[in-house]
Amino acid sequence: MATKAAQKRACSSSHVGPARQMLTVAPVDPRIQDHLREPAALHHRPPVRVQHPRVCTPCTRWHYIITGPEDTPYHGGQYWGTLMFPPNYPFAPPAIRMHTPSGRFQPSTRLCLSISDFHPKSFNPAWEVSTILIGLLSFMTSDEMTTGSVSTTSAERKYMASRSRWWNSTGGGSQAKANPAQKGNVKAGDGGAKFRAEWPEVDVENWESIKKNKIDPATGNRLDGENGSSCGPQLGIAGSSGNQAQAVVDAVVQQRDAGRGWIYRNKLLVAGAVIFIYVLIARLVHGDGLA
């Protein structure tokens, strides 16, 4: 059974150093700052932000934002997700989800990682929240597959990264200002309400960026018609969390099959022809034997 002090650890975060440090978390209860102390080795890590819960409960949900690191397809992307801590944390790991479509994970799906609730026996109680997020980022930038991950091209991941801020603040185009009748509008979602409630300042920044870059709130495309980063590969990828994963999978299958040859596309016909020829030859050989 976890102690009260251990449960309090799940309801805390801290600010780490000056702005030049690459890993930051939101300031909270100073009584337990030691649980989230950051080693100097993290100075060169990409930005990771954590929003602690407003009310601490036995089962606590934290919200995080990971900014895509340079030299990766996720560069500049804004990836929002949650950590759901169990009552006995830190003696058991949290459930990890990423809500923003990334091309790496299925949106809002529990991820099977050594640092997640899929593997409680491998979790180390000494691991801090920031350590968990750095582990998530490390896995995200690798090519290893697991439960909750998807396989997409680098171009698709760059495309989703360019639309991530728009997606977070509009719920994938479902925000109230969008025209439901407009082609390409995503009708599912909460209009970005949940993201706005957890990250109000970040949401304001996102909307400023949307207006500055003349992004259509309904579709995520440039209103001026210019070919920019918002114009992704023509693979029919939707924006909502509900159908994003399947759309990505379908797009990858389409792209894969497009590169296959005539034999692959007509494999059933080829197989039938081979069987027919085999039977014909067998009969001819059998007939010669009888003669």
pLDDT digits (tens, 9 = 90+) for 235-291: 333 333 334 334 333 443 444 444 445 565 667 777 888 888 888 888 887 766 555
Is 56 noted as a catalytic residue in this protein? no
Please report how many Cα atoms fall inside a 13 Å half-sphere around the Cα of residue 286, on the Cβ side.
Answer: 6
Catalytic residue among 11, 56, 59, 112: 112
Decide: helix, strand or coil at residue 250.
helix
- Which parts of 8-148 are beta strand (E)? 48-51, 60-67, 78-85, 95-98
Return the percentage of the chain with pLDDT > 70, whole number.
Answer: 58
- Which parts of the chain are beta strand (E)? 48-51, 60-67, 78-85, 95-98
- Say how far apart CA 87 and CA 40 lie, in whole Å: 30
Say if CB 230 and CB 76 are below 8 A apart. Answer: no
Q: For 4-140, which CATH superfamily applies?
A: Ubiquitin Conjugating Enzyme (3.10.110.10)
CA 225 to chain centre: 28
What is the domain partition of the chain in residue ranges?
4-140, 154-258, 261-291
Residue 178 has pLDDT above 50, yes or no: no
pLDDT digits (tens, 9 = 90+) for 111-129: 999 889 899 998 999 988 8
End-to-end CA distance of the chain, in Å? Answer: 86
- Say how far apart CA 212 and CA 206 lie, in whole Å: 10
Residue at 119: amino acid letter: H
pLDDT digits (tens, 9 = 90+) for 187-246: 446 889 989 988 999 999 999 999 999 999 988 888 876 544 444 443 333 333 334 334
